[in-house]
Amino acid sequence: MRYVLLKAEFYSPYTSVQVFAEHGRGPPVPPPSTLIGALAAPFYHPEERDIGNDVLGQVRYVSFWVPPYHTVENVSRHVSIFSQKKDRTKALTIAMKLLQGVSIDHVYRDLCNYAGFKCPSKKKNPNYNALRREHIRQLEKFGYVEAARTAAQILLQPASRLETYFAGPAYILYVVEGPLVDVARRIHRVGPKEGLVSVTPVEVRAERVDDEVITTRFYVPRVGGRQFLNCVEVHMWDAPDFRAREPVRAMMGVPYCIPEPLNDMHVEVADGWTGVRLIGGDVDMYLVVPAHAAP
């Protein structure tokens, strides 16, 4: 088991939405599920697939050191056309082609892959060609302008989301085993694919601390402390598979305490948890971890 600390520079605001929603105020910091997802991306590269036990089984604990921050709620797509992953910009190209008179048959595959159209599956339908022709006929009846508008709305919808602006670098802590120790050093994004993040590994030594009260800016699950001071309570998923493990509680998530924007958080350590000090380079910080992840 190793403690891997990463210094993260956010060059764009961290954005989030509510669980099971397309807009609204999500947590102001990356939840554990997002941090594990960031770890899975380089682990599975160049493929993308659902996160399995090959990743989850090696993660003992994750947390996020929150720098001073400010939050606003903004239009979710306000920079999409200029700052957007390549696949989604294809939707705008499809819309322009349709308006120029290009046939739906010519752009059908892109409509299915990038513009949110529900198309028959070639693998699941032995009569795929017939279904494809019928679907194209329906889209032509729908109209080229309407098809173009539908293709482009994925970029232009006026939904809102929470944006968090960090006043300095953040730190991500992974307590992991096996090959994830090296994989964690290759993280290239945290949160939405459009986010710009630079991550630098920091060599640290982890020491157990027996203090009853720990002062920290790492977030902590509510169960990790008897009492909290300067705590902002938020609900987050503790892992990407939380929905499958806890389908009823998934709507709310797990209660966590994050520090206030400017004030450090004080945690009275609960039974089954312990304080840890991280020392290395210019880093000297404290956090609270479950006993099974203690050094």
Amino acid 109: pLDDT = 83
Amino acid 79: pLDDT = 44
Q: Give Cβ neighbours of residue 62 (< 8 Å, ≥ 6 apart).
A: 32, 35, 36, 39, 172, 173, 174, 175
Amino acid 66: pLDDT = 97
**Domains of the chain in sequence order:** 2-76+161-293 (3.30.70.3120), 86-156 (no CATH)
**Whats the size of the chain, residue-wise?**
295
**Backbone φ/ψ region at 143: left (φ over 0), alpha (ψ -120 to 50), beta:** left
pTM (global) more than 0.85: no
Q: Could you give the CA distance from residue 185 to residue 42 in angstroms, rounded to a whole number?
A: 9
Amino acid 243: pLDDT = 57
Q: Could you give the CA distance from residue 182 to residue 180 in angstroms, rounded to a whole number?
A: 5
Ordered per-residue pLDDT tens for the chain, 295 residues: 899 999 999 888 888 876 655 566 789 999 998 898 888 877 777 676 667 677 777 889 999 999 999 998 876 554 444 445 566 667 778 888 888 888 888 888 888 877 667 788 887 788 888 888 888 888 888 787 877 777 666 655 556 778 899 999 999 999 988 888 788 777 777 877 656 788 889 999 999 999 999 999 999 999 999 999 999 999 998 877 655 556 556 567 889 999 999 999 999 999 999 999 999 988 999 999 999 999 9
Q: Could you give the CA distance from residue 147 to residue 170 in angstroms, rounded to a whole number?
A: 43
